[in-house]
Amino acid sequence: MRKLIVIAIMSLDGYVAGPGEDVMVLPMDHAFDEYNLERMRTAGTTLLGRRSYEGFKGFWPMVDGNDAFGPVQQEFSRLDDAVAKVVVSDTLTMDQTAPWTDTTTIVRRAEAHAVVAGLKRGDETEGDIVMWGSHTLWADLLAAGLVDELHLMVGPVVLGDGIAAFEGGKAPALKLVGTRTWEGSDNVLLRYSVERS
């Protein structure tokens, strides 16, 4: 069985985006970049909602070979370019996927649970199924019992409003399986497994 791992950065008061869905208010520092690269190295598939996919597609292809970015971002860009991508969307079409047309599969929302369950039944040697961003999608998959782990990077910022990580303060039973800090960063990584009832 493959794991579905959600990776999210959030504020100290539990928001994954600030007012106006602004994610740039979160402290995406070197620790965030380094951890994302570690997870991308283990990924066999990335799973994204349409908006996150379009955001990634609009940014990451230009990073590799661009001296404005460091080696961590450039390696992430190369790996992201090559990895299989599954996008859950009722509006995205294949002619909107360039330059990732060869690595992208579009899944309609009504089919998402079945497709994700099928991906998870694959052999673990195929790599993890990793999600970044895509809060609406991961909240739905978490409620459906399809998420195996939450990797939450908590930053020392209080937003007071925005998109809450857990709608209505509801979350499944979680078990802490690891914590991590980085020198030069005030972010803390909390890794949880999702407990099945």
pLDDT of residue 8: 95
Q: Which of 83-92, 134-143, 150-159, 181-190 has the lowest mean pLDDT?
A: 134-143
Burial category of 158 from C-beta neighbours within 10 Å (exposed 0-12, middle 13-18, buried 19 and up): exposed
pLDDT of residue 169: 63
Residue 154 has pLDDT above 90, yes or no: yes
Residue 27 confidence class, pLDDT cut points 50, 70, 90: very high
pLDDT of residue 186: 97
Residue 149 has pLDDT above 90, yes or no: yes
Question: β-strand 43-49 against 84-88: which pairing, if any?
Answer: parallel
**Domain 4-194: homologous superfamily in CATH:** Dihydrofolate Reductase, subunit A (3.40.430.10)
The reported pTM is 0.93
